[in-house]
Amino acid sequence: DAGVTQSPTHLIKTRGQQVTLRCSPKSGHDTVSWYQQALGQGPQFIFQYYEEEERQRGNFPDRFSGHQFPNYSSELNVNALLLGDSALYLCASSTISGSQETQYFGPGTRLLVL
Amino acid sequence: DQQVKQNSPSLSVQEGRISILNCDYTNSMFDYFLWYKKYPAEGPTFLISISSIKDKNEDGRFTVFLNKSAKHLSLHIVPSQPGDSAVYFCAASGIGRSARQLTFGSGTQLTVLP
């Protein structure tokens, strides 16, 4: 049973560029969430996708956008990159069980903005 | 405003002894709590969770305790093993729409000494 997969594993970009990160959820999961983890901090929620729509969004600017495909995979797009966008980007997948979700994380994409 | 706090950035324990990791939260709307373990260069791995209707949940060597009146939870690992050395994150989610995002603490680095 494949877990959550993400690509690429590492990425180097320069300020002002745009980046796309990809995620495939765990088998049987229909919901994908994205998190940003800066060095020495816990992950911060960016947004969540369900049924190909953004269902909830954290406190991130519009430069961060996403998409979910019919097969439940997802992309995170970041435009006009800033140095402060350098971080580990984590994708998590889930499905509702009762009233609660347990999210399972992928290995992450390490983004460095120069 | 940190809604989930892990006040100990690091903890060292001898192999075979008990490890106790602590977490405090401020948002009384949180009703589901999770612990994740993270090794370097990997994504967080789900360990154990607890619903607010319980005060204890056990899974093998891992037990989570929840004290709602104190807004405090703890993770006990007995016995501790060198392979448990990792960063441990406490996370919380609410009900309804806020069940969709996890709010993380900043993590505790656990080192189990052989």
Asked if B89 and B38 touch (Cβ cutoff 8 Å), the reply is yes
CB contact under 8 A, B44 and A105: yes
pLDDT score for B46: 94
- The predicted structure's pLDDT at residue A99: 64
Report percent pLDDT > 70 for chain A.
96
pLDDT at B98 over 70: no
> Taking CB atoms and an 8 Å cut-off, how many pairs form between chains A and B?
63
> pLDDT > 90: what percent of chain A?
85
pLDDT tens-digit map of A50-77: 999 998 999 999 999 999 999 999 999 9
Q: Which residue of A has its CA nearest to B43?
A: A107
What's the token pair of residue B19?
Answer: 């490890």
Quickly list H helices, chain B. none
Report CA-CA distances (Å) from A44 to A2, B62, B81: 25, 25, 29
Kindly state the greatest CA–CA separation across chain A.
44
Longest dimension (CA), chain B: 44
Q: Tell me the chain B residues in contact with residue A56 when contact means C-beta distances shorter than 8 Å.
A: 97, 100-101
Q: How far is A66 from chain B (nearest CA, A)?
A: 16
